Amino acid sequence: MAEISIQVNGRQQKHEAEPRTHLGDFIREKSRLTGTNLSCEHGVCGACTVLVDGRPVRSCITFAGACDGHEVTTVEGYNDDPIMSRLRTAFSEKHALQCGFCTPGMLATSRDIVLRLPDADEARVRIELSGNICRCTGYQGITAAILSVLQALRDQPDAQIEALRAAVVQDVQQDWTQNGFTTFEAVQEEVQAPAPVAAAPAASGSADKGKGQAIQGGFEARFPADQVWAFMKDLPKVAGCLPGAIIESQEGATVQGKIAIKFGPMSAAFKGNATLEEDNDRRAAVLRGEGVDSLSQSRARGDVSYQVLPDGDDRSRVEVELVYSLQGPLAQFSRSGLVQDFVRRMIAEFGKNVNLRLEKPLAEGEEPVVAEFNPVKMFFSILWDRFKGLFRRS
């Protein structure tokens, strides 16, 4: 047990809690503030959203210990908030709630929209709300309520709210610069822009981190660098080593196909295309891909950069970096540590398959046989490792 001290709604709350206690349980069970609702408890529904230091956070996937020394605001603590007072009235007028289960989380997210996006239109409001699920209202009333608050503030600006907005703009910009996040507008422009002419791989062999989350990994190959490079620039062979990937057609350096991903609660099948750009001098390449999951309509983009480095005469090491972005319902998973562990292990699986193929090259017309991949086993193995890590830390 550890002593955790959090300022909840302006009052210091100091309680003993286990390191694994999430903020939602801390608020409900230790602080006895039951206005925050828990539903999915894995970051999907948004019902548990509260403000931590003024920013919306899913309390079910935030450790209480990580909030030690910080300020948390729950639905019980918005009485003096000028934006929330307008939102509450608007929610009531526009019939933005029915059973009310989602409402504490909806209000926290709505406040964030009003703060950050004074000019948001209906489409943007709906996108911003996509991380909060309501089973009753159909979202019409919620969207109308937020739009009415935004319009009222445009018609008649409020000095107190303008000051809050100015502070948040500065805060968010600083955070985004530090973390290399891409703005919504930049991503939207990129999506709408005509496909760029493929550029040569960057000299450093790493992709532009401004495009999304970056994960590094790598694997050892039991073969000389030139042999591994000859394999790694052959697109169908590379794709054939990616667990769950299927190539449907190829034209030059571009392939069409799909990749199926199953990991715990997340399951998706992205269909799209990928292009390989190679740099023979450096034995480096970038595989640029994008696709859409037909079920969730989530869109994924990713650049896999890799470079084959000699390790003595007979062996080599392949350094891999994945820079990816997810849009749509699956975006909520994109930064989770579990997903990052998953990608690193996928890279290791990929390495196993590359070694296997180099050891036993396919005969003409032979169907590829890759090392067996078990996503369920991998999911539980990652969870187990994290569980053990928890005890090591405590």
Provide the mask over 137-176, with x wherever binding to ligand FES is found by CB under 6 A and - wherever it is not. Answer: x---------------------------------------
Provide the mask over 73-112, with x wherever binding to ligand FES is found by CB under 6 A and - wherever it is not. Answer: ------------------------xxxxxx----------
Task: Using only the alpha carbons of the chain, give its radius of gyration.
Answer: 24
Q: How far is the CB of 105 from ligand FES (least distance, A)?
A: 7
Mark the segment that binds ligand FES (CB under 6 A) among 32-40, 152-160, 286-294, 320-328: 32-40
The reply to whether 136 sits near ligand FES by the rule CB under 6 A is yes
Among 18, 19, 41, 82, binds ligand FES (CB under 6 A): 41
The reply to whether 347 sits near ligand FES by the rule CB under 6 A is no
Query: Which H or E run contains 85?
Result: helix 82-93
Instruction: Give me the count of residues in the chain.
Output: 394
Q: What is the DSSP string of 36-80?
A: S--SSSSSSS-TTEEEETTEEEEGGGSBGGGGTT-EEE-GGG-TT
Nearest-5° Cα angle at 365, 360 to 371: 40
The reply to whether 43 sits near ligand FES by the rule CB under 6 A is yes
Is residue 106 a contact partner of residue 92, using CB atoms and an 8 Å limit? no
Among 20, 135, 335, 386, binds ligand FES (CB under 6 A): 135
Among 60, 214, 215, 268, binds ligand FES (CB under 6 A): 60
Between 64 and 238, CB nearer to ligand FES? 64
Between 141 and 289, CB nearer to ligand FES? 141
**Residues touching ligand FES, count (CB under 6 A):** 22
Closest CA to 282 of 249, 246, 318, 309: 309
Closest CA to 112 of 155, 172, 70: 172
- The bridge status of strand 284-293 relative to strand 245-251 is unpaired
Query: Residue 270: phi, psi to the nearest 5?
Result: -85, 130
Among 39, 89, 267, 296, binds ligand FES (CB under 6 A): 39
Among 8, 17, 27, 48, binds ligand FES (CB under 6 A): 48
Q: What b-and-e string marks burial along 5-27, b requiring 16 or more CB atoms within 10 Å of the CB? A: ebbbbeeebebebeeebbbbbbb
Mark the segment that binds ligand FES (CB under 6 A) among 76-84, 134-142, 212-220, 370-378: 134-142
Q: How far is the CB of 108 from ligand FES (least distance, A)?
A: 11
Residue 172 CA to residue 231 CA, distance in Å, equals 44
In terms of Cβ atoms closer than 10 Å to its own Cβ (0-12, 13-18, 19+), residue 191 is exposed
The reply to whether 46 sits near ligand FES by the rule CB under 6 A is yes
Mark the segment that binds ligand FES (CB under 6 A) among 42-50, 167-175, 253-261, 339-347: 42-50
Between 40 and 152, CB nearer to ligand FES? 40
Mark the segment that binds ligand FES (CB under 6 A) among 36-44, 117-125, 192-200, 354-362: 36-44
Residue 343 CA to residue 84 CA, distance in Å, equals 40
Mark the segment that binds ligand FES (CB under 6 A) among 34-42, 75-83, 193-201, 337-345: 34-42
Q: How far is the CB of 148 from ligand FES (least distance, A)?
A: 18
- CA distance to 113, 228, 232, 242, per residue, from 318 (Å): 43, 9, 9, 15
Site residues, ligand FES (CB under 6 A): 38-41, 43-48, 58, 60, 97-102, 134-137
